[in-house]
Copies of this chain bind each other. A is one copy, B any other.
Amino acid sequence: MNSPQNNTKVYIGIVKQLRSMIEHDGLKPGDRLPSERELSERLGVGRSSVREALRALELLGLIETRRGEGTFMRDFRGHQLVQLLSTFILQDKKSIRDVKETKFLIELDCLWLIIQKAGEDRLLRFRKWTLEADYTDDDFFLEIVTLAENHLFLRIWIILKDYYNSLDLEKMMITKQQYAELIDTLISRKDSEVIRVYKELRNLSKD
């Protein structure tokens, strides 16, 4: 009890030090991290502890290791994370419905965000693009979620998409008319009551 806090495990500390190291050196996806042996020496810990930290980060999809080459920053796309979330957290059948619902609502939110954030000209071009694009394709919604400029939504959506595709469900078919109608409705309601209140609330949370 009296002892300070020897609780923190070494590998957790390594994860933190790696984080600050990445931040300090400004490492981008694709950049190489120091070797395991060098990290072990620089941080004054055993190599196995370094490996435990690296393996954990790898499973999270944050880094990538190639034997003989080294350890590299990864373009976070939650690869392993997908299967883990899908097998551990989303194991019950009921949650498949939640995935559908959540994925769709996020797409709707992103559509909303695009329309809110875009100016008149961008809005027109976007409207035109939606008419030409193939919205039954994953890439269409990927573009939608990307344009929303919310990295968090993007990450979550990608995970949901991968999980959704890993199931052998039929695609959610949407007619072009329906989707166009939805977009037009959202655009026309850009200044409706819901949006107005939403905007006011948003303004309160400016940084």
Contacts and interface: CB of A to CB of B under 8 A. Distances in A.
Q: In terms of DSSP, what is the predominant structure of the interface of chain A?
A: helix
Interface string A43-83: 00000100111011111101000000000000010001000
Contacts of A59: 12, 15, 56-57, 59-60
Nearest to A51: B52
A69 to B, nearest CB: 14
A53 B84 CA distance: 12
Contact of A182 (B15, B91, B181, B194): B194
A98 to B, nearest CB: 4
Interface residues of A, number: 66
A150 B90 CA distance: 11
Given A11-B55, A98-B152, 17 more contacts: A55-B56, A56-B56, A57-B59, A60-B88, A62-B84, A96-B207, A101-B152, A102-B152, A105-B109, A105-B113, A108-B198, A152-B160, A172-B205, A181-B197, A182-B198, A185-B193, A189-B194
Interface of A: 11-12, 15-16, 19, 23, 48, 51-53, 55-60, 62, 76, 80, 84, 87-91, 94-102, 104-105, 108-109, 112-113, 150-153, 155-156, 160, 172-174, 178, 181-182, 185-186, 189, 193-194, 197-198, 200-202, 204-205, 207
